[in-house]
Each structure stands twice: as structure tokens, then as C-alpha cells.
Amino acid sequence: MRFSIIVPMLNEAPGLPGLLARLTELERQGCEILIVDGGSDDGSVSLAERAGFRVLASQKGRARQMNLGAAQVTGDVLLFLHADTLLPEDALTTLRQSMQKTAAVWGRFDVLIDGAHPMLRVIATLMNHRSRWTGIATGDQAIFVTRKAFNAVGGYPDQPLMEDIELSNRLRALARPACIPTPVRTSGRRWESRGVWRTVLLMWRLRWAYWRGTPAEQLAQRYR
């Protein structure tokens, strides 16, 4: 079982050193790493290349970046990792054991949200419980999927928002996700910069609207 990690990136220079250090450890363990840049202008590409990683240029758009990366890597299992998220040190071992034990074709990790606000831990807990109940994973939870299953559902939909929700819906038709309790750690900057409660309410509204059929392109305008 060979693993490939695809990292979509756009202007992530401040947090890159920590990510690149963790990716270096995973690369030493035999994991293939590909960073797909969507047009960074803050030196992110130079930082990644100087650290020895392959960086692929892409059109802007996380779904497009991840699909392009998936087409370029060689692993049997694809893991899509946001650039502000850190996998646990034993991620590959945990992932391999989970997939072998459950015969899962896709899944995700639990998540912890880093930040000063006390509600971030509560939000992460609710995200993890909701994901277990619904079978829907978010990109912050480091979605992984076998190449066969990814190809079978046509990869990520080419849309500017909710691409992780739509991919989960497609994959649920094949199987329930494996939910790994060992957490990834993701940045709480989005919540803290926009306001924790304001961001939570916005995401609930966007998800509800998407479920009701509002096009992702309209929702992306609200998200900005």
C-alpha cells in the first residue's frame, strides 16, 4: 500500500516551515509528497522548493489543484492535506492499520483546531461527531481515498466551495468512511480572524443552502 499526499497551497508562507518539517518526516518514511500551488505570490513556492519538495503550478481553486495533483502522483492511496493542517507523526502507520483492519476505501482523521479561543476545541469535537453521524468529511480532516475509489467517483467536482462535501456524498455511495480518532491539527485562523461565532453561523448557513440546492458558485461569493 503506497501513499501519496497532495497539498493544495495558496499563500501559506507564514505556516509553511512547520508543515514542510512534518512532510519531510513523512517523505523519509516512504510517502510521496506533491504540493500544488494555485498562484501564490508570497514566496510559498520558493520555500517549498528550497525544502526539496516538488511543486506543481495549477489554476487557482482547491478542487482543481487536488485533481491535478491526484493525476500526477503514483500512490495507491491519496491523502489530501490542507496547507494549514499537520498530520500526526504516526499518520502513515495509523492510516495503514485502519485501512487494513476495516477494508476501507476512504476516510478521514479527527481534527483539533489550534487557537486561543476556548470554543475552538468544542467546534472540533462537534465537527468530529457530526462527521461520524453523517458520513461527511471536511477538508480540514485530511480526507484519504484509494485511487480506485477516487477515479470511480470522478475525483473532486470542479466547484469553488463544498468540494469536500460533494466528494464525500459520492464516496458514501461506495462505502462509509473510516474515521481515525488520532487527530490532525489545523489552524484556527479562519475562525479567529472572522470571529468564531460569526464563522460558525456562516458555515451552517452555507451548508444549509448547499443542501437546499444553491450552486456552489453563489455560496463562494458569500464565503469571501
Q: What's the CATH superfamily of 3-190?
A: Spore Coat Polysaccharide Biosynthesis Protein SpsA; Chain A (3.90.550.10)
Grid cell 479527527 in the structure block, residue: 110
Contacts of 44 (CB under 8 A, 6+ apart): 9, 10, 11, 12, 13, 16, 37
Indicate whether 221 pLDDT > 90.
no
Give the H or E element holding residue 6: strand 3-9
pLDDT tens digits along 44-61: 999 999 999 999 999 999
The answer to whether the CB of 42 falls within 8 A of the CB of 69 is no
- For the chain, the structural domain boundaries read 3-190
The answer to whether the CB of 106 falls within 8 A of the CB of 144 is yes
Grid coordinates representing 10 are 495558496
Q: What is the pTM of this model?
A: 0.95
pLDDT-derived band of residue 215, with 50, 70 and 90 as boundaries? Answer: confident
Angular region, 112: left φ>0, alpha ψ -120 to 50, beta rest: beta
pLDDT tens digits along 120-176: 999 999 999 999 999 999 999 999 999 999 999 999 999 999 999 999 999 999 999
User: Which amino acid is it at 89?
Assistant: E
